[in-house]
Amino acid sequence: MCFGCTTPGGVSLRSDGSPGPQECPEKALEAMRILNLRVGDGATVDLDVNQSLTSPITLYDGPVESMLTNSLGPLPPVTRLYGRVWTGGPQVVVRYYEAHPPDGEPFPLCAVARLAHGQMQKKPESTPGTAILEFSRAGVYIVNSFR
């Protein structure tokens, strides 16, 4: 473990390897205000477009491309969300930093993937740097900072 280390993206790591707090950039907050995306707005997302409708799925530390399966405010289904996965802690952490609507320009945002009842918890057979999850879909929620 590397408690207090910082990732290449400038995110500090907790003692369990999960990412620490991170502010949402002002440009993302502004873009979300313009699009009327509010904290707590949510939708469903395929966590990894390469593993849609697969069970179980394996996520890897690093970049991820996800896809909305239903609308999130003005963002239609098939909007791509780009972010990062951390598998170091007991729960997988997915933070999204950019949205690419199908017929529009990419823009910054702040969102997280979540599932209730501990379902973002990785399976025991997950190896370091990976997380095996039961489901390929999760909720995605707008946030104003990452905790």
Instruction: Please give the share of the chain, as a percent, with pLDDT higher than 70.
Output: 93
**3-state secondary structure at position 28:** helix
Confidence of residue 10 (pLDDT cuts 50, 70, 90): confident
- pTM to 2 decimal places: 0.90
| pLDDT at residue 1, as a whole number | 44
Residues near 50 by beta carbon (within 8 Å), at least 6 away in sequence? 65
Q: What is the mean pLDDT of residues 69-90?
A: 95
CA angle, 48 as apex, 45 and 52 as ends, to 5°? Answer: 75
Superfamily of domain 22-146: Type IV secretion system, VirB10/TraB/TrbI (2.40.128.260)
Q: How far apart are CA 135 and CA 35, in angstroms?
A: 29
98-125 pLDDT, tens digit per residue, is 999 999 899 999 999 998 876 789 999 9
29-72 pLDDT, tens digit per residue, is 999 999 999 999 999 999 999 998 889 999 999 999 999 999 99
Domain boundaries, the chain: 22-146
Q: What is the mean pLDDT of residues 17-31?
A: 94
What separation in angstroms does the CA of 123 have from each of 15, 79, 90?
A: 20, 28, 9
